[in-house]
Amino acid sequence: MCLGTVGQVTAAGAGGSVEVDDGVRVITASLLTMTEAVAPGDWVLMHSGLVLGRLTELEAKDALDLRHPTAG
């Protein structure tokens, strides 16, 4: 099963790409599939090097909590 990666855009890159921090590493991802603007500070869903969509901060937090539940 393939899972997308949730991260926060840290910088706009050249040629329609962005740098995204997923909490473990910084990934360069393409905006080729996006029709809406993406800017530093935005939360995004990525898969296979492509940004697939923008998320609200709450959506990103919920997705990250599902992927990395806290012990307790």
**Residue 48 falls inside a structural domain:** yes
Residue 53 confidence (pLDDT): 95
**Residue 24 falls inside a structural domain:** yes
**30: enclosing H helix or E strand:** strand 26-30
Residue 1 confidence (pLDDT): 52
Output phi, psi for 65, to 5 deg. -65, -35
pTM over 0.75: yes
First to last CA, the chain: 27
Q: Give, for all 72 residues of the chain, the pLDDT tens digit.
A: 567 899 999 999 888 999 999 988 999 999 999 999 999 999 999 999 999 999 999 999 998 888 777 655
**Residue 72 falls inside a structural domain:** no
CATH label of the domain that carries residue 37: 2.30.30.140
d(CA 58, CA 18): 21
Tally of domains in the chain: 1
**Residue 44 falls inside a structural domain:** yes
Residue 2 confidence (pLDDT): 66
Residue 71 confidence (pLDDT): 52
Residue span of the structural domain in which 61 resides = 5-67
